[in-house]
Amino acid sequence: MKRILILAGALLGFAVGAGAQHARYVDPFIGTAGMGHTFPGACVPFGGVQLSPDTDMIPHNIKGEYQPRTYEYCAGYQYGDSTIVGFSHTHFSGTGHSDLGDILLMPGTGEIQFVPGTAADPDSGYRQRFSHDTESAGAGHYEVTLADSGIRVELTATKRVGVHRYTFPKGEEGHLVLDLDHGIYNYDGKTLWAEVRVVSPTLVTGYRITNGWARTNYTYFAMEFSEPVLEYGCKDKAPAYYQGGYGRYARMNDFPEMAGRKLVAWFKFDTADNPRLTVKVGLSATGMTGALKNLRAEAEGKSFDTLRASAEQAWEQELACIDMEGSEAKKTMFYTSLYHTMINPSVYMDVDGLYRGLDHELHRAEGFTNYTVFSLWDTYRAEYPLLALIKPHQAEDMVASMLRHYEQSPHHMLPIWSHMANENWCMTGYHSVSVLSDAIAKGLKVDGQEALEAMVSTSSVPWYGGLGEYIQRGYVPLEKTSTAASNTLEYAYDDWAVAAAAERLGNESVARKYRARAGYYRNVFDPSIGLARPRYGNGSFKDPFDIKQTVGQGFIEGNSLNYSFHVPQDVRGLMELMGGDRKFIANLDELFGSDLPEYCYADNEDITADCLLGGYVHGNEPSHHIPYLYAWTSEPWKTQYWVREIVDRFYRPEIRGLGGNDDCGQMSAWYIFTVLGFYPVCPGTDQYVLGAPCIPHAWITLENGHTLEMKATGLSARNRYVKSVKLNGKPVDRLYLTHAELLQGGTLEFEMARTPAKRRGIAPDTKPYSL
C-alpha cells in the first residue's frame, strides 16, 4: 500500500519530500573520504550524467611518471579537501581506476582565470574555497556555496542533462569558465581536441575527444543558459600552428567558433541585474546534435526546481523497490547502498536510441537501452545478480549492450572492463560470460543462441591473458602473465558459467567441453600446501612463494590465502583439494582470524588496513563470497558470524564509512544481499546461499508484481545467528533459496538467536550447488 501511494505521488508530480520515504535516506557523502571513491554530486538512476564537484585531479605525467594520489581522485572528490575546482558532468562511482570529469563548469566573479590553480594557493586559479557547512546533497541533487565569490551552486540532473543553478552575490558581475582541458586521470595532452560553438546568446555546443583510460572518448555537449551571454571568449593554452586567415581562429573575444587542444572558454552574464543563472548541459556521445536533442527532450522548458524534484522522484521510484524497517542509521546505510548499485552501469545513448559503439561508429539501439561502464571483474559477483533480481528490465538491457559490444569487437569478445565505447582491458577473466549465464539462469529475456556464441567466442581468444595456454594445458603458466594463478581460477569459474548456460540452452557438446574446463582450477593447486599456487610451463610451482603477499605472487590484487577460495562453481571439489571439511574450515577460520602483515599489501593500492578482517580482504572483490563458503561445511553457522562482522565494520553510515572502493556498486550490492539474508555465491546457478539478515524487516517489490517479505524475528546486536528459516510458513532446512522461490514472493522468516544453531544445515541435502 505504501508503495502504491508513493508511486501515485510521483505520477501526479507531487513535490518529493514527505513522499520520498526511501530517497531521503540517501547520503551521497558516504564513501567520499578514504577509499570509497564515491562522488557526492547529482545523478538519476543509471543516468549518463553524474554532475559533481571535483576537488582536485592530481594529473599523471605523460612521461609515465605515476602520481600515487591520482588513485584518490577516481571520483574527483575527496571530502578532506577545502577547495572546489569546478563541476564536471561525468564520474565513475567507486572505481579503482580513474577517468572522465568531462565538461567542467566553474562560476566566478571578478577577473577571469584560465587555470585551476593549486589547493595550496587557491587564488592562483579559478578554483575556490568552500566549507562543508554550506554543502548538502541527496539523491539527485547537490549544493554548496563557493566561499571566495559567495556564489551559491545547486546541481541536479536528468539521465542526459546536467542542470546547474548559480546564484551570484548581489551587484557582482559574474562569469562562467568552461574548461575543456580539465579531467580526471588527466595528463598533459589527454584532451586531443575540443571545439566550442556559440550558436546563440543562450546556446553553446561543443565537444571534446580525450585519450584517457578510455582510449578514445567522445563527449559532446549542448549548453543552454537562462540568461543571454553578454561577452565571451576563450584561451587555447596550446595554440595550433595555423590560426585562420588573418589569425581569425585566434580571436579571443566573441568569435563563435573556438577550437583547440587545451581550450578554456568563458562567458559573461549580467548577474548584477539577474543574479540567478540556470545552465542546462545536455550530453551525448554521438554529436552536438544528439546533445541538443537530449537537452530538448529531457529539460526544455522545465525549471531547476522541477528538474530537481523529478530527479528525486526518479530515485524514489527506483529505491522504493525495497522497503525496510530499522534504525535511521541502518536506513541511511541501506538506501545509500541501494543508490550506489544504480549509478553504474549508466545509459550511453541518445533519447532516440543513437549511440556510439565500440567501433566508434554511430549505431541505433533497436529494442534496448544501451549502457556503458562495465566493471565486470567486480560486478559479476553481486551487482548484476542484484539487478537481475530487482531490476530485471535494466539487467536485460545491460546484457543486450554487452552483446552489441561483442558484435562490434574486432576481437569477437564480450566486454572485459569497458566504458564510453572503449575496452580498457582492465583486470582479468571474461566475466561477462558470468553475467550472461546468470541472466539465462534467472530467466531474463536474452537471445540465448547469440549469448552462447558470444560466450564461446570470448573464451576462445588465444592471445588474451594466457588463454591459449590455459586451453592447451589446463592452466596459465606464470611465464605468460604475472597473474597466471588467478587467471586460471577465474577462467575455470567463467568456463563453468558457459557450461551452465549451454546446459540450459540444450547444447550438450558445448556444456561438456566447458564443464571439463571448469575443473582446471585444480591444476593450480599445490597439494603440498593445499592452496592455489602459480605454475610454470614445465609444471613446477613458483618458488619461493608467499601465500600472504598480495603483489607479485601470481594473483591479481590478492594473495593465495584469499584467492584459493575462488572456486564458487565447485566448493565441494575445493574442499577435497584442501584436505576435506575440517581443513577447509580451518583455512577459513585462519583467514578471518589471523593478521595480514602490512608488507603484504603496502604496494597494493586496492588493499588498505581499512578493509581487513584478519587476513580476509573485504575492500577488494575476490573474497566477497568467502564468508558464505561455510555453508558447504559442517559449520555453516560461521557464515552468520562473519557477515555480521563485515557489515558492522565496513559499512558504516559515515563519510569514511566504506571499507574500500565501492566498485560500481559491487560492494554495495554485497551489502544489500547480505543484510537481507542471502547471497549469490555462484552466479550462473539459480541459488542464493542463506546467511544471516542484519535488518529486522524488509519488503522487496519484484517487477512481476509479487512482494517478498523478509522478517528477521528477534534480530538484535547480540542476536546475529539464525535459529530457523521459514518460507511462507514452511520450514526451510536447506542453506539456499532458488530464484524461482524468491520470484513467487511471500514471506521469508528468519528466527534470530544469540547462539548459533550448530546442527542446522549440516545434512548433505541442505547444501548449495557444487559441480
Q: Which residues bind its own copies (CB under 8 A)?
A: 60-62, 64, 185, 187, 190, 192-193, 195, 197-199, 205, 209, 211-213, 215-216, 240-242, 244-246, 248-249, 251, 254, 256-257, 259, 261, 287-289, 359-362, 410-411, 416-417, 423-427, 463, 465, 481
- How many Å apart are CA 210 and CA 216, to the nearest integer? 6
> Minimal distance in Å, beta carbon 223 to its own copies?
14
When the beta carbons of 213 and 679 are compared against its own copies, the nearer one is 213
- In one letter, which amino acid is 576? E
Contact 143, 154 (CB under 8 A): yes
Which three cell numbers mark 633? 561445511
When the beta carbons of 64 and 764 are compared against its own copies, the nearer one is 64
Q: What is the Cα 451 distance to its own chain's centre?
A: 23
Query: Quick one: DSSP state of residue 336?
Result: H
Contact 53, 76 (CB under 8 A): yes
Contact 566, 486 (CB under 8 A): yes
> Minimal distance in Å, beta carbon 460 to its own copies?
16
Contact 266, 234 (CB under 8 A): yes
Q: Which of 26, 35, 93 is nearest to 337 (CA)?
A: 26
When the beta carbons of 213 and 355 are compared against its own copies, the nearer one is 213
When the beta carbons of 207 and 563 are compared against its own copies, the nearer one is 207
When the beta carbons of 425 and 592 are compared against its own copies, the nearer one is 425
Q: What is the Cα 411 distance to its own chain's centre?
A: 25
Residue by residue, DSSP assigns 31-73 as TSSTT-----SB--TT-S--BEEE-------TT----GGGGGG
When the beta carbons of 362 and 586 are compared against its own copies, the nearer one is 362
> Minimal distance in Å, beta carbon 104 to its own copies?
20
When the beta carbons of 364 and 718 are compared against its own copies, the nearer one is 364
Which three cell numbers mark 487? 587467471
Contact 257, 158 (CB under 8 A): no
When the beta carbons of 67 and 634 are compared against its own copies, the nearer one is 67
> Minimal distance in Å, beta carbon 349 to its own copies?
16
> Minimal distance in Å, beta carbon 235 to its own copies?
16
Beta carbons within 8 Å of 616's beta carbon, 6+ residues apart: 562, 591, 592, 623, 626, 627, 642
> Minimal distance in Å, beta carbon 266 to its own copies?
17
When the beta carbons of 109 and 217 are compared against its own copies, the nearer one is 217
When the beta carbons of 22 and 190 are compared against its own copies, the nearer one is 190
When the beta carbons of 229 and 309 are compared against its own copies, the nearer one is 229
- How many Å apart are CA 372 and CA 46, to the nearest integer? 10
> Minimal distance in Å, beta carbon 689 to its own copies?
31
3-state secondary structure of 557: coil
φ, ψ of residue 63 to 5 degrees: the values are: -75, -5
> Minimal distance in Å, beta carbon 110 to its own copies?
27
Q: Which residues of 298-332 are buried (b: 16+ CB within 10 A; e: fewer)?
A: bbeebebeebbbbbbbbbbbbbbbbbbebeeebbb
- How many Å apart are CA 89 and CA 104, to the nearest integer? 7
- How many Å apart are CA 320 and CA 622, to the nearest integer? 30
> Minimal distance in Å, beta carbon 199 to its own copies?
6
> Minimal distance in Å, beta carbon 100 to its own copies?
13
> Minimal distance in Å, beta carbon 352 to its own copies?
14
